[in-house]
Structure 1
Amino acid sequence: MYKILAKINKILLPSFTKQRLDLAKAKKWQMAIIGYRYYVTTHALTNK
């Protein structure tokens, strides 16, 4: 399930690393997206 979510996230959600976003200056909604993407990615990699 997490692998499918990770693929969907890669397509739909913006990549802040490509935009060179400074985490200290990130807005709350940007931090929420970063946290969500991190959560899904780590679970996709660890859960087999």
Structure 2
Amino acid sequence: MFKIIAQINKVFLPSFTKKRLDLAKATKWQLAIIGYRYYITTRALDS
């Protein structure tokens, strides 16, 4: 299930690493998206 969600996230959510976003300057919603993507990605790799 997490693998499917990770693939959907890859298509629809922005990639901040490609934009070279500095985490110290990131807004709260950008940090929330980064945290969410991290959570889903780690769960997808575990299963």
Q: What is the TM-score with the length of structure 1 in the denominator? A: 0.97
Task: Give, in angstroms, the shift of residue 5 of structure 1.
Answer: 0.2
- Tell me the distance in 1 between the aligned counterparts of 2:4 and 2:17: 21
Sequence identity percentage: 74
Equivalent in the alignment of 1:40: 40
Gap runs ≥5 in structure 2: none
Equivalent in the alignment of 1:4: 4
Spell out the pairing of 1:18-33 with structure 2 (5 A cutoff).
18-33=18-33
Task: Give, in angstroms, the shift of residue 7 of structure 1.
Answer: 0.1
Q: CA RMSD in A?
A: 0.3
Structure 1 runs of 4+ aligned residues shifted over 3 Å read: none
Counterpart residue identity of residue 24, structure 1: A
